[in-house]
Structure formats: structure tokens, C-alpha cells
Structure 1
Amino acid sequence: MKLSFYGADQCVTGSCHCLEINGKRILIDCGLQQGRDEVSNGEFPFAANTIDFVLVTHAHIDHSGRIPMLVKQGFQGRILTTRLTAQLLEIMLLDSAHIQEQDAEWKNRKGERSGAPRTEPLYTVEDAERVMEHMTTCEYGQFIQLCEGVEVEFTDAGHLLGSSFIIMDLTEGGIKKSIVFSGDIGNVDQPVIRDPVQISGADYVVMESTYGDRNHPESWSYTDDLARIIDDTMARGGNVIIPSFAVGRTQELLYFIREIKEKHMVASCPDFPVYIDSPLAKKATSIFDSDLRGYMDHDAVWLVRRGTDMFRFPNLHATESSEESKALNEDRTPKVIISASGMCDAGRIR
């Protein structure tokens, strides 16, 4: 057995680990390095066609964003993840591929003037579409015999719909070991998704530690603060603009805004309009609205049984085109705009 680290070691993003056992090579995540951590994403330190399996902890791009590049470079194996992660991957990898194509086109237009060599995208939309041909899905708690000497179980990590701890029971040459890959670990008491499952034991744990040196607030329900900010801003005739990751955080905001409206917590404009200014967030919300059996917490199950749409409410709108997005700048009606630009440095927030 051999474990190698090819990303998210000594940095935050680009999670990618490789387990070699019984002649097989198994990747756990294959993420894109982003932001201040970004280095050259264009090359793997291994040959793509030597990888037999990819196990995906969750759909965020820093854990999944180089899978289409793996396929482009000759990967012929099998990708295994949970049902909800696979659904989110389909839209997120297509969106990432579109960004890769756009970035390459912009660099090539700029390079034409200076005579710079042409830039190829890391991967194309076609490469992202081919990822789904390799996909196999499972549910939480299901034991999968992946290959000789490798049994795999995905358990709820409480980070994002479908996110998982991956528990691997390994046997090689009569030696038995268990190893857990945490992916990203969720907090407790988040809306819709369940708390992380407690893991009872393992020989090795490979875990993220992004927030390992601090305590989170005790409660993740920020409806009171959010309602006050919206109320104060609407009373002054202003807009509340919220940069938000398209998948996960946007749906959490919609959940809390629905509560705010139901409880009439914004007196200055009770029926205030809300705009989702992100086509990707709109697509992701449709997945959050789908069959979540086995993924929802008790509160969400109760709301569904009551017939409540957790992420929709009166006066909710979604923009599709960039023209619709730009038109929001000219509309003087006070509103809430949720825009998919998590770090405020690109996209529609700009």
C-alpha cells in the first residue's frame, strides 16, 4: 500500500490523493487549485491512463475540477460518488469547462496583438460531458467492493448535499488497514443537510483542517441579523448585494430568506424582491428541489411533509443572460441580489 499527495497538501485547494494497492491506482478527489494557492493546473504528476478509479468526496471544484482534464488525457476508469454529488458534478463541471474555454479565448485575443503562442483550455465542455460516461453512484452506508482488497463506504460529511467521508478497508499481502478521507467537514445545525456522521475508528485519517484553529458561532441561523440588514437597507431605498457560492451557500440564503418573509421580519418592505443573479445557482437550486430522500435533516423532512418549498417564495426571480444581470443596475426598486461570486473578485458581482 502506498499513499501519495498531489494537492491540498501545504495549501488549501486542489485536493488530490492517490492510493496504490494490489496493482491498482485510486484517486481520492481530483480538484482544481484556485485563488492564492493557484499553481499550474495543466499537468498531472502522473499519467492519467494509469488511474483505475476516482472517488469523489463532494462536488466543489477544488475537489473535482480537474476530473474533465483527467478524462481528456486518457483516463478510462470508473468514477464513484454519491447520487447527489453526481448530479451536482454534472452542472458544475460543465460550468467550469465553459469558464476554461472563455479564459483561453480571452488570452488568445489578447495574445494575438503580441504574437504570443495560443492557449488551450485545460478542458472543454465536451471533455466535461464525457465525465458522466465514467460515473457510478452509490448511497450513504452502502458497502462497495471496489477491486481486490478494497471495500469502500461513503458516509455523510455534512458539508454539501451528497458530501462524504470516504472510509476504505484495505487488504494487501495479508495486511489489513483502514483509512478515512474526510473531504471537507461540515458544521452542525446547518439548514437542510444533516450533521456529519461520527467516525468510530481508523488506522489513518486524511482530513482537511482549514478552520481547525478557530471556533464557529454556536448557531448557524443568522435570520435575525440578515433581516435587520435587509430592513435597514430597504428603508433607505438601497440594494442588499450578497456574494455567494452558487452551490450550497446560495440555497442556504434562500432557505433563511424564505423564513424571514414567512415571519414578516422586514417591515419596511415585506414583499421585497430577491434576484438569483447566477445561471449556475439556478440550476443547482433545481437539484436541491429534487429527490433528497436520505440526505435531508429532520427539519427539512418536516417542511417537505408540510408541503413547504424550502428555496422558493413570492417575488423570487432568476436572471439568465448577462443583459438581464446588467439591467438590475438600472432598476431603482430596492432588492436583494444574490450573485455567484464567492470571493468578490470576478463574475457578476464585478
Structure 2
Amino acid sequence: MKIAFHGAAGVVTGSCHLVTCGGRRILVDCGMFQGQRELFEENTRDFGFDPAEIDVLLLTHAHLDHCGRIPLLVKRGFRGEIVCTAATRDLSRLVLLDSAHLHEEEAKRRNRHRHNGREGEPLFDTVDALDSLDRFGREAEYGRPMVLWEGARATFHDAGHILGSASILLELEENGRSRRLLFSGDIGPENRPLLDSPAPPSNVDVVVMETTYGDRDHRPLDASVAEFHDAVRGADARGGNVIIPTFALERAQELLFFLREGMEHKQVRASTQVFLDSPMAISATQIFKRHPEAMKAEIERMIRGGKDPFRLPELHITREASDSMALNRIRAGAVIMAGSGMCTGGRVRHHLRHNLAHSDCSVIFVGYAAEGTLARIIIDGAKSVKLFGDEVRVRARIHTINGFSAHAGQSELLNWHARTGRPEMTFLVHGEEKARKAFAGHLKGRRIAMPRLHQVYEL
């Protein structure tokens, strides 16, 4: 029985873990590497295993850094079954098709500027993404064991991270020996407005655990919401716009929810023009409303009772690119939520180009920004940034509100780990080296490993 780490080993993206047991192979996640160019180029290399030999892929959730290389996996020979929750399946379809389109556009851009005469191909295209959707099979339900084959069961447990997200317990038998192996996926914070808190199983032998925020806690949510409302009011009073680089899954829906509450409690002007300028976030919001069973009981009751928790008095849905471009003519009073959250691409870069240089505007970052991304560069205090070939001064007020993170902070991660029992071994993944080491220091008296990329361990 072995485990190999083919992603998110020393970095925060590219989650991909391979378990070999009884001659069969289980892959947990197959995510995209994101961030610095040398890291992104890791996507084009060999997986570290033969995709054709994988029997089943268990998917924890639909974020790109956990599902984004699935079309490439299928393109290179994977013919097994993909198992995930119903909500993850719907969101993954959205994410993978959008990613394929972006890869196609990037390939076109490179080919326009090529100098060697050879055309470059996208990492995968829309046809590859559609082919990968055919591999999705059974839908998992929280807490209900699923037999993969004799000697292998998988149980999905609510991870509280995004809609449909799960921690996955594998119960494996080989040569009369059994092991309970838990993959955390991404662990959500406790007491969020839309989702239930994480609920890991106990009596686990081995834990593979994310450590994105293993070195620090977040601000309390109430304080973060108050700061968010204050930042929106401040830009409104100065006569500027608010730009919010927005992750399409979970963050966009939470922000709409908090804006609605702020308007109802007169913390935000009810006539504020809010633009959801992200086709993916628009579709994701529709998927949220299609899966009330995956949300908190009170939100489920609200949706089933006909009340939309994401509806605002002056909410404008901006699907078309022409409508998005028209937003750049607005100089005051707009809240523009656009992807991507780390500013690595998408419409938000255009909005930054038109608003960063204005001191009456605000940019509000409400999520994790990996090293090397434009979001991190701005957060770290850059005086100017390059956008579409232009050097743009950073004069807008920059707000970083980390209390909205969909990841658990250090204290919540420690609590989650404690609830798994006393595992014999804990593998720390999906975290920058500083965060992994800080978190490891709190797990005293435990066997801990911090795997490197493609490292293999006996279980």
C-alpha cells in the first residue's frame, strides 16, 4: 500500500495524490498548478504516473487547483470513473469548460506572437473538456460509504469549503491489513453563512491534510464583513468605484449575500449599482440555487421558500464581453465583481487597468493570492503594475480582508485534525513551506511528513 504526491507538495496548487493498493490505483484530485510561470509550466509535464493505469479518480471539489488537469488526464489515457458529489459535478463542468476556453485563447495569443513559425497547441481544448465529462460516474452523498471494489470503500464528508466540497475517507484492505486514510481536500472555516462547518470522521490512521493557512488565523468574520461594508461606503463617499477580484465559486456568492445583508441593515446604500461581471460566477450562482441540499438548513429553507439569498436591488448581470467593456466608462458609484480572484487573467485585469490609478477608487481583495500572481504583487505594495503592456500606477486604496477566506485558519485546522483521532501519520500538503512548517510545529508528538513533488511513501 503506497501513496505518492504528484501535486500540492510544497506549493498551494496542483493537488494530485495517488494511492496504490492491491494492484489498483486511486487518484485523489487532479488539479492545475497556478501562480509563477515556472510553476504553471508544471502542468505540461508528465503527471508522474501513467493516466491509463488509474482505476478511479475521487474529486474533493471543483476548484481549478483540484480538478483543472482532468481533461489532460483523459487526453493522455485515463479511462476510469470520476466520483464526486452532485454539486461538485455541476460546478466542475462549468470550471473545466471555462478553463478549456482560456487555454484555447492563450494558444491563439501565443501563436499571434510566435517567431519560430510553429503553432502552439492549448494544454487542452473544449473537446478534451467534454470528453472528460463523460468519465464522471457515480455521485457521492455525505456520510454514505461507497464501494469502489472489494477491499476499497470511499466515504465523502462535508469539508465546508465550497458547495459540494468533501474530505474523503478511504478504507483499504491489502493482504489482511486495513487502513483508514483521510484526504482533507480543502477545509472550510467554521460558522459560515452559506455552508455547514467541516465534519471530519474519527479514528483515522493516516491523514493527508491541507495547510494553506497553517501559519495564521483569519480575522473574525463579523469584523471582516464590517470592514467590507466600510470599504464599499468609503469609495462611494469619495466618488469612486470598487473593484473586487472575485473567485467565482463560493466567494462571489458570499459577497452577494453580505451586500444584500448590508443593504437591508443600511450599512451599504441600497441603490448601489453592483455588477457581477463574471460569466462563471453568474452560472455558479445558478448552480448554488440548484443545490440547496448542499447548504445550511436555513439557506435551504430560504431558497425552497422562493427567496433568493443572492438578489440585490440594483444587481446587474454582465455576461457579454461588450457589456463588460462598457463598465470601464463608469467613473463613480459602481461595485464591480470580476474574475479572476488572483488577477491572473479574466475581466478584472481590464477593470484594474481603468481604476487602479484613481485615488477615489478602491480594490478589495477577499481571498488567497499565491506568490507571483498580480493580486499578491498589488497586496505586497507595488507602486505600479504592468497591464496589457502599460505601466499603471497604484493609487487606489487597497483593502485586504482575509476573514472571507474559504479556507480554515490555523486554529480551525488544528481543531479539524484533533477530531480525526490520533492518526499514526499526517502528511502536510497544499501549503507554502512557511505555512507547512509552522503548522507542523503545533502537531507535537505526532509523526509528520512534508512530502516533495512525486515523493512516494509506504503506508
Q: Aligned partners of 1:265 and 1:23: how far apart in 2?
A: 59
Structure 1 residue 232, shift from structure 2 partner:
2.2
Q: Aligned partners of 2:223 and 2:151: how far apart in 1?
A: 44
1:101 pairs with 101, 104, 111, which one? 104
> RMSD of the TM alignment (CA)?
1.5
Q: Aligned partners of 1:301 and 1:289: how far apart in 2?
A: 9
Q: Aligned partners of 1:49 and 1:19: how far apart in 2?
A: 15
C-alpha contact (below 8 Å) 2:158/2:200 kept by paired residues: no
Corresponding position of 1:324: 323
Change over 3 Å in CA distance of 1:198–1:76 after alignment to 2: closer
Structure 1 residue 116, shift from structure 2 partner:
4.7
Q: Aligned partners of 2:272 and 2:105: how far apart in 1?
A: 35
C-alpha contact (below 8 Å) 1:189/1:220 kept by paired residues: no
Percent of residue pairs identical:
44
2:65 pairs with 57, 62, 66, which one? 62
Task: Indicate whether 1:264 and 2:266 are aligned.
Answer: yes
Amino acid at match of 1:99: L
Q: Aligned partners of 1:174 and 1:57: how far apart in 2?
A: 28
Corresponding position of 2:168: 166
Corresponding position of 2:338: 339
Deviations 1:128-179 (A, max 9, x none): 1122211121211111000121011000001000110000110011001110
Structure 1 residue 96, shift from structure 2 partner:
0.6
Corresponding position of 1:215: 217
Corresponding position of 1:147: 149
Amino acid at match of 1:213: D
Corresponding position of 2:15: 15
C-alpha contact (below 8 Å) 1:223/1:259 kept by paired residues: no
Structure 1 residue 327, shift from structure 2 partner:
0.5
Corresponding position of 2:75: 72
C-alpha contact (below 8 Å) 2:157/2:166 kept by paired residues: yes
Q: Aligned partners of 1:301 and 1:10: how far apart in 2?
A: 38
Partner SS, residue 134 of structure 2 = helix
C-alpha contact (below 8 Å) 2:289/2:303 kept by paired residues: no
Q: Aligned partners of 2:223 and 2:30: how far apart in 1?
A: 32
Corresponding position of 1:240: 242
Task: Indicate whether 1:181 and 2:180 are aligned.
Answer: no
C-alpha contact (below 8 Å) 1:181/1:206 kept by paired residues: yes
Corresponding position of 1:31: 31
C-alpha contact (below 8 Å) 1:223/1:257 kept by paired residues: no
Amino acid at match of 1:45: G
C-alpha contact (below 8 Å) 1:190/1:220 kept by paired residues: no
C-alpha contact (below 8 Å) 2:270/2:313 kept by paired residues: no
Structure 1 residue 305, shift from structure 2 partner:
5.6
Structure 1 residue 40, shift from structure 2 partner:
2.4
Deviations 1:222-267 (A, max 9, x none): 332222222222122211111111111111100101111122223x
Q: Aligned partners of 1:20 and 1:68: how far apart in 2?
A: 22
Q: Aligned partners of 2:33 and 2:257: how far apart in 1?
A: 30
TM-score between both structures, scaled by the size of structure 1: 0.94
Structure 1 residue 349, shift from structure 2 partner:
1.7
Corresponding position of 2:299: 300
TM-score between both structures, scaled by the size of structure 2: 0.73
Name the stretch that deviates more: 215-224 or 169-178: 215-224
Corresponding position of 1:50: 53
C-alpha contact (below 8 Å) 1:278/1:319 kept by paired residues: yes
Partner SS, residue 249 of structure 2 = coil
Q: Aligned partners of 1:63 and 1:245: how far apart in 2?
A: 14
Q: Aligned partners of 1:80 and 1:121: how far apart in 2?
A: 26
Structure 1 residue 21, shift from structure 2 partner:
1.2
Change over 3 Å in CA distance of 1:177–1:50 after alignment to 2: same
Identify the structure with bigger relative contact order (alpha carbons < 8 Å, sequence gap 6+).
2
Partner SS, residue 113 of structure 2 = helix
C-alpha contact (below 8 Å) 1:169/1:176 kept by paired residues: yes
Partner SS, residue 6 of structure 2 = strand
Deviations 1:191-210 (A, max 9, x none): 21110003312110001111
Structure 1 residue 281, shift from structure 2 partner:
0.8
Structure 1 residue 299, shift from structure 2 partner:
3.6
Q: Aligned partners of 2:307 and 2:174: how far apart in 1?
A: 50
Name the stretch that deviates more: 86-95 or 15-24: 15-24
C-alpha contact (below 8 Å) 2:186/2:210 kept by paired residues: yes
Change over 3 Å in CA distance of 1:220–1:154 after alignment to 2: farther
Structure 1 residue 46, shift from structure 2 partner:
1.6
Corresponding position of 1:279: 279
Change over 3 Å in CA distance of 1:198–1:49 after alignment to 2: closer
Amino acid at match of 2:319: E
Structure 1 residue 221, shift from structure 2 partner:
6.4
Structure 1 residue 270, shift from structure 2 partner:
2.7
Q: Aligned partners of 1:73 and 1:119: how far apart in 2?
A: 18
Name the stretch that deviates more: 24-33 or 125-134: 125-134
- Segments of structure 2 that go 5 or more residues without pairing to the other structure are 350-459
Q: Aligned partners of 1:201 and 1:301: how far apart in 2?
A: 31
Structure 1 residue 290, shift from structure 2 partner:
1.2
Corresponding position of 2:85: 82
